[in-house]
Amino acid sequence: MESQEVPLDVSGFSIAAIVPCHNEEAAIRKVVLDLKAAVPTMDIYVYDNRSTDNTAEIAAEAGAIVRHEYTKGKGNVVRRAFADIDADIYVLIDGDDTYGTDALPSMIQTLLSGPYDHVLGVRKETTQSAYRSGHSLGNRAFNWLVSSLFKSQVTDMLSGYRVFSRRFVKSFPAVSKEFEIETELTVHYLSLRIPHVEVPVGFKDRAEGTESKLHTFRDGFKILRLITDLVRHERPMAFHGLLGALVALVGVALGVPILNEFMETGLVPRLPTAVLASSLATLGVMIWTVGLVLDGITRNRHENARLVYLALPSVEPRVQESE
């Protein structure tokens, strides 16, 4: 007798969709209706982030629970929503109708089947103009950089379409203010080695009458700065070790000719250069020592964060009994 796949039952789980919005009146109705059609039992929270149009009114008419976050920035919305909403499963999706909601049931079932704590929706273009060239190039560069730094493959770290377990959400510190939030979410599961998986999702052009809130260069520099800060915090030995080595090498490069001259003549004719060289070499060793101390602190912080994560119950799969 052939074995049949047992369907996962999501009816016993509370599911909350979080939809950050700023001036999305042209798209939000369809997003809410599509989410309700994809997972009828899901509560949909539209967080209006200082919109000047009718986003909140249209979302409420479509059946969403509308809440407001008056501090500008997607990161502030996610921080507020993660703190306020209690659910077993969380969905994060943008309100611009660019992501395919038809993938959501599969993403949720994937989360439960692992069980995983994070499912990343990897964008697959369904229209040729969905990705702006600058965004696509920047995304690939950031994916490579983060994958190299954290020794784990990341395919689409800037995707705004994700599914989380409660233990992920409630252990996530959420300190970013704007679009850097996706980077912070990615680094959270990488640094704690949280079980995660990637699922391809459709990605299309924004709805007519809407415009992207993401600025390629401005937000790209913000994300790059965040990655630098995260490396400094999450990989202090690598960061300070490299910086200390560079400073020390400059000191050695300046000091070797002076040392050679001293060995030949017994004189130090360029005393200021000699002082600078010795100071740089000493500073390099000090920077390396700081990195060593911070590495121990970071390890302790990761252990504490891991304990907070483990203190929360995992999402266990529930199956329907076959008749």
pLDDT greater at residue 126 or residue 260: 260
pLDDT above 60 (res 197): yes
Q: What 3-state DSSP class applies to 199? A: strand
pLDDT band at 135 (very low <50, low <70, confident <90, very high): low
pLDDT band at 90 (very low <50, low <70, confident <90, very high): very high
The domain 15-234 is classified under which CATH number: 3.90.45.10, 3.90.550.10, 3.40.50.20, 3.40.50.2300? 3.90.550.10
Token digits for 301?
């912080």
Q: Give pTM, 2 decimals.
A: 0.79
| Mean pLDDT score, 87-106 | 94
Q: What is the percent of the chain where pLDDT is above 90?
A: 53
C-alpha to C-alpha distance for 238 and 243, rounded to whole angstroms: 8
pLDDT above 80 (res 226): no
| Mean pLDDT score, 261-290 | 87
Mean pLDDT lowest among 39-53, 79-93, 204-218, 293-307: 204-218
43-48/65-68 β-pairing: parallel
C-alpha to C-alpha distance for 259 and 242, rounded to whole angstroms: 25
pLDDT above 60 (res 128): no
Residue type for 36, please?
Answer: K
CB-based contact 176:230 (threshold 8 Å): no
| Mean pLDDT score, 252-271 | 83
pLDDT greater at residue 175 or residue 54: 54
| Mean pLDDT score, 255-266 | 83
Q: Given this model, what pLDDT does residue 268 score?
A: 76
What is the residue extent of each domain of the chain? 15-234, 236-311
pLDDT band at 39 (very low <50, low <70, confident <90, very high): very high
DSSP string of 78-119, one letter each residue: HHHHHHH---SEEEE--TTS-B-GGGHHHHHHHHHHTT-SEE
> Alpha-carbon dihedral of residues 13, 82, 193, 73, nearest 10 degrees?
140
| Mean pLDDT score, 67-74 | 94
Secondary-structure breakdown of the chain: helix, strand, coil percentages, each rounded to the nearest 5: 50, 15, 35
pLDDT above 70 (res 146): yes
Average pLDDT, the chain: 85
How many CB atoms are closer than 10 A to CB 271? 10
- 255 Cβ contact list (under 8 Å, min separation 6): 274, 277, 278, 281
